[in-house]
Amino acid sequence: MGEFDLITHYFKTQQNPQRPDVALSIGDDCAILNCPPSQQIAITTDTMVEGTHFLPTISPKDLAYKALATNLSDLAAMGARPAWISLALTLPEVDQDWLKDFSETFFEVLTKENVSLIGGDTTQGKLHCISITAQGLLPKGKALRRDKARVGDYIFVSGTLGDSAAGLALLLGQKNTELKNYDAPIFAENYVVARHLRPTPRIALGQYLLDHDFSQCALDISDGLMADLTHILERSHCHAELDIEKLPYSEELTQLFSLATCEKFALTGGEDYELCFTVPEAKIQDFKKAILSSDLPVPVSCIGRITDGAENKITLQRNGKVVDFTFTQGFDHFSK
């Protein structure tokens, strides 16, 4: 099967959602899209390389899901509504069973989120490599941005933290050094592994924050809470105080690991793809009331405040007392 046969058979398919804003899709040199006059386009690109971003043993179904979810999470962090995807796929060989499983899950996710695959590329290489460019729509002049945190804002996170790092630890066979409970139910292990392999992009939450004007600042937690919150502090020129005892954990995580390990996973583990966002002090009461009555499928937790102090610094507190924490830098492709 040649390159163009592969594209036609697995990716030029009726499963691909047919959005009315796609004027020209797969099959030409470029796609042509129609953007509503009241909208702007948010664009993100992410590459996943075998052995660096995913284990060689990952199933093609999980890989397709995670590759899409991580890009959709970037759009969610801006409050954007996902619309279009381009896919560049590098394969060591044409494995038709692998491609069937990958493409089926890929289009299942696209259909669920009403996102169209509009183009891409396929190449041969030594390792599996997936590059995705995702594009979404934003109301003109509005977006959740890293440079919009202000002194006095409350810091929130969605969902629970640390599950993905725990799942990766189990996949890497690190339970002998980290696990606290060797008799924990198997569903607890399965849960954190699934959270690593299949994170949930918080698309509805991002749009809710933007549409209701509760926040102007957000990002998704991909490199660990400490590292990612530091990005907000760098761009917004401020300081943060976090209350460690308020970090949200899943019941499954606490069944498996000690509190100290849960804290480490939550603060530095990464790949949870939950949203970290700020809410201005003037809006905090309205936000709390609104979030309780909303039908959002994910809870949110207040874990600290944006403060006036040394820029880019995070102070960790436990029950009001400052604690020392050995900070591990977030993931960096080129760090030694």
Count of C-beta atoms within a 10 Å radius of residue 59: 13
Half-sphere exposure of 285 (CA within 13 A, CB side): 1
Measure Cα distances from 22 to 33, 80, 116 in Å.
5, 17, 8
Residues at the annotated binding site for ATP?
120-121, 146, 222
Residues at the annotated binding site for substrate?
53, 271, 331
Residues at the annotated binding site for Mg(2+)?
29, 44-46, 74, 121, 220, 223
Q: Which phi and psi angles does 247 have, rounded to 5°?
A: -65, 130
- Give the span between the Cα atoms of 69 and 46, in whole angstroms: 11
Within its chain, how far is the Cα of 38 from the centroid? 27
Question: What residues have CB less than 8 Å from 179, skipping those under 6 apart?
Answer: 256, 257
- Give the residue from 144, 124, 121, 143 showing the smallest Cα distance to 132: 121
- Measured at the alpha carbon of residue 72, what is the angle toward residues 220 and 11, in degrees to the nearest 5? 155
For the chain, how many residues are written? 336
Helix or strand (DSSP H, E) at 116: strand 116-124
The radius of gyration of the chain from alpha carbons, rounded to an integer in Å, stands at: 21
Residues at the annotated binding site?
29, 44-46, 53, 74, 120-121, 146, 220, 222-223, 271, 331
- Measured at the alpha carbon of residue 22, what is the angle toward residues 18 and 24, in degrees to the nearest 5? 105
- Give the span between the Cα atoms of 197 and 19, in whole angstroms: 28
Three-class SS of residue 188? helix
Instruction: Rounding to the nearest 10 degrees, give the CA dihedral for residues 256, 260, 262, 264.
Output: -140
Start-to-end CA span in the chain (Å): 41
